[in-house]
Structure 1
Amino acid sequence: MDKLEMRHTLLAAKARKKMSWDDIASAVGMSPVWVASACYGMNSASADIAHKICDTLDVDSDIADALVAFPTKVWDEAIPQDPFIYRLYEVVGVYGETLKDVVQEQFGDGIMSAIDFTMEVDKVEDPKGDRVLLTLNGKFLPYKSW
């Protein structure tokens, strides 16, 4: 089974069981953002976690092999059409150079790791309308000179 078939199977099982990412994450002992990313095929899981995901979603254990497989992290290079994803794309387009400059002023020449990385999604209640709080927490990796 490839990652795409795995993704469709797991998302269908999630819908059938009427579970949230928080529900699944609690059952397997991982972050909801990470669990969703693994189920979408963008991260690999340990064998133990893969089997816990399969058990939680009541899917065949052979899907665990696809969860464990290392992904090829590629995505459609076209401008996204989904409004939520487009807005994230827009944030990077509008603020990407600004963030890079500010981070490099504070840390030096380098990048934020997406490997040694965590992400959290929180809801912040506000009388003017609830707000989305995204926390991206990546290790700083300085560029080397040689």
Structure 2
Amino acid sequence: MNRNDVTEKIIAAKVSKGITWEEVARRIGQSKEWTTALCLGQMTANAEQARALGEVFGLGEEEQKWLKVVPYKGSLPTEVPTDPLIYRWYEIVNVYGSTIKELIHEEFGDGIMSAIDFSMDITREPDPKGDRVKVVLSGKFLPYKTY
């Protein structure tokens, strides 16, 4: 057994039970975005969160232990993604990445936006022309230091 096996079991149980990530998130007291990343193998659970996920998804003790192991981060292959939704994010970064970089550097200076001290919020915005996906990414600015 490994973390990928636990992820697959979580996804199968979610589908079987017909529950949403938001419902799961309420059970562990975290955002739906962070909870989804945890369940998909990209975050580390504490003991209480692992226990709660064990109850939700029917995970045994050994499976719960895997939720507490720090994962190897990065769920995407190194080649260009083929899933249409994920590819659009790849496309956004390809088209707007240099603009985002330039504007962050102009506003904050030489540094990066943290993906560790970070939050994300995904919501639906009703629109008469078709609902819109609103994604807000917020990361701490980390300046490069001189030494």
Q: Which residue of 2 aligns with 1:118?
A: 119
Number of aligned positions between the proteins: 146
- 1:60 deviates by 1.9
Q: Which residue of 1 aligns with 2:52?
A: 52
Query: 1: distance between equivalents of 2:113 and 2:61?
Result: 35
Counterpart contact for 1:80–1:89, Cα < 8 Å: yes
TM-score of the pair, normalised by structure 1: 0.96
Query: 2: distance between equivalents of 1:61 and 1:32?
Result: 24
- 1:59 deviates by 2.4
Query: 2: distance between equivalents of 1:139 and 1:46?
Result: 23
After superposing the two structures, state which structure 1 stretch, 45-54 or 82-91, moved more.
45-54
Q: Which residue of 2 aligns with 1:26?
A: 26
After superposing the two structures, state which structure 1 stretch, 53-62 or 33-42, moved more.
53-62
Identity percentage over the alignment?
41
Letter in 1 for 2:127: D
SS for the counterpart of 1:132 is strand
SS for the counterpart of 1:65 is helix
- 1:106 deviates by 0.6
TM-score of the pair, normalised by structure 2: 0.96
SS for the counterpart of 1:135 is strand
Counterpart contact for 1:13–1:59, Cα < 8 Å: no
- 1:62 deviates by 2.2
Query: 2: distance between equivalents of 1:89 and 1:95?
Result: 10
Question: Deviation above 2 Å: which 4+ runs of structure 1?
Answer: none
Query: 1:23-60 CA distances to partner (integer Å, 9 max, x unpaired)?
Result: 10011111111111111111111111111111122222
After superposing the two structures, state which structure 1 stretch, 56-65 or 34-43, moved more.
56-65
SS for the counterpart of 1:12 is helix
Query: 2: distance between equivalents of 1:77 and 1:137?
Result: 25
- 1:20 deviates by 0.4
Letter in 1 for 2:112: I
Query: 2: distance between equivalents of 1:57 and 1:4?
Result: 15
Q: Which residue of 2 aligns with 1:17?
A: 17
- 1:103 deviates by 0.7
SS for the counterpart of 2:138 is strand
Q: Which residue of 2 aligns with 1:35?
A: 35
